[in-house]
Amino acid sequence: MERIDLNNKTILVTGSAGFIGSNLVKRLFRGVKGATIVGIDNMNDYYDVALKEFRLKELDTSVPSGITYHFVKGDIADRDCIDRLFAEYKPAVVVNLAAQAGVRYSITNPDAYIQSNLIGFYNILEACRHNPVEHLVYASSSSVYGGNKKVPFSTDDRVDNPVSLYAATKKSNELMAHCYSKLYDIPSTGLRFFTVYGPAGRPDMAYFGFTNKLLKGETIQIFNYGNCRRDFTYVDDIVEGVVRVMQGAPERKKGEDGLPVPPYAVYNIGGGQPESLLDFVQILQEELVRAGVLPSDFDFEAHKQLVPMQPGDVPTTYADAEALERDYGFTPKISLREGLRAFAEWYAKFYTL
């Protein structure tokens, strides 16, 4: 592994108005000195743009002295935009978090996934090919494991049977990155995120969507009759893992044939503690009451409906994160109750009080 000092470097974060991207930029503000941080986001309306604007405002008002921060409104699927950005800023480290997310949306709107996740990622790879980049870190997803019945999910497992187009695009990203690492000696690391949640997250995620529905007095649907387990990972844990990985790039070296051995790696980032969906809903409702989002006498049972599994969903996600611990000394630690409490308190301030 090649150590990378992030201080005084130019770092590009794509998807910087997104949930993980904005939190990553905030973490870099706190932990890196003398850096130039460039964010890019297309600010699309897949979900409430006001949330993205809220995140950007937080970043604009928290830039520390000694850090230079630029935000570019642009789309990674726009080749000219990406080429101009790399030519102007010459990033040493690139973190590609821009993507069209969501399993169910990929069933009805596949074009968005091809544009952002395939063409957009290709543009990033091409830019890294033609500019000297020390490390490309990119978001993959636990969705690549599909209906894998072996748990916990290991990066050694075969992931050739995606159950959604979203998953297929993320697996494709890993294959494309491997190819570019091999052909052009670009150090790249893919990170398979497991069910990321927290304050100012994505409204299409269950914890956020459930809260919105309950507040309106609507019924929430719990899929697979509640027989689902998810390896929930709090956003601060995800971001800490990303920052550590950014600082350790796969080593460039030659093989016996004299050609580059791909400086390529993939890791899981997950809590390693799958929670049942019913337990998750129970904790969420307790924290929503505690934060004052919902009244203490709210009748949750009257607003819950157990329904069958949905297309593209899987019954269990469970991360084997031993490799991350071994190579970077990090394992997610924030409990589901701690994380949902932080979300409920943020939600109360942002929406209801």
Read off the amino acid at residue 147: G
The enclosing H or E element of 341 equals helix 336-347
Parallel, antiparallel or unpaired: strands 68-73 and 36-41: parallel
Q: Is 166 a catalytic residue?
A: yes
Read off the amino acid at residue 296: S
Residue 228, both tokens: 């689902």
Q: Concatenated DSSP letters for 101-143?
A: --HHHHHH-HHHHIIIIIIIHHHHHHHHHHS--SEEEEEEEGG
- Measure Cα distances from 247 to 6, 64, 188, 215, 329 in Å: 7, 21, 12, 42, 12
Name the burial class of residue 185, with classes exposed (0-12), middle (13-18) and buried (19+) by CB atoms within 10 angstroms of its CB: middle
Q: Which residues of 164-182 are buried (b: 16+ CB within 10 A; e: fewer)?
A: bbbbbbbbbbbebbbebbb
- Residue 2's DSSP bridge partners are 249
- Half-sphere CA count of 317, side-chain side, radius 13 A: 22
Read off the amino acid at residue 98: A
- Measure Cα distances from 228 to 6, 77, 105 in Å: 39, 35, 20
Residue 219, both tokens: 């019924």
As a whole number of angstroms, the distance between CA 257 and CA 141 comes to 33
As a whole number of angstroms, the distance between CA 97 and CA 235 comes to 13
Q: Of residues 89, 122, 138, 166, which has the active-site annotation? A: 166
> Which residues of 152-300 form beta strands (DSSP E)?
188-193, 196-197, 220-222, 229-230, 233-234, 248-249, 253-254, 260-261, 264-269, 275-276
Q: Which residues are catalytic?
A: 166
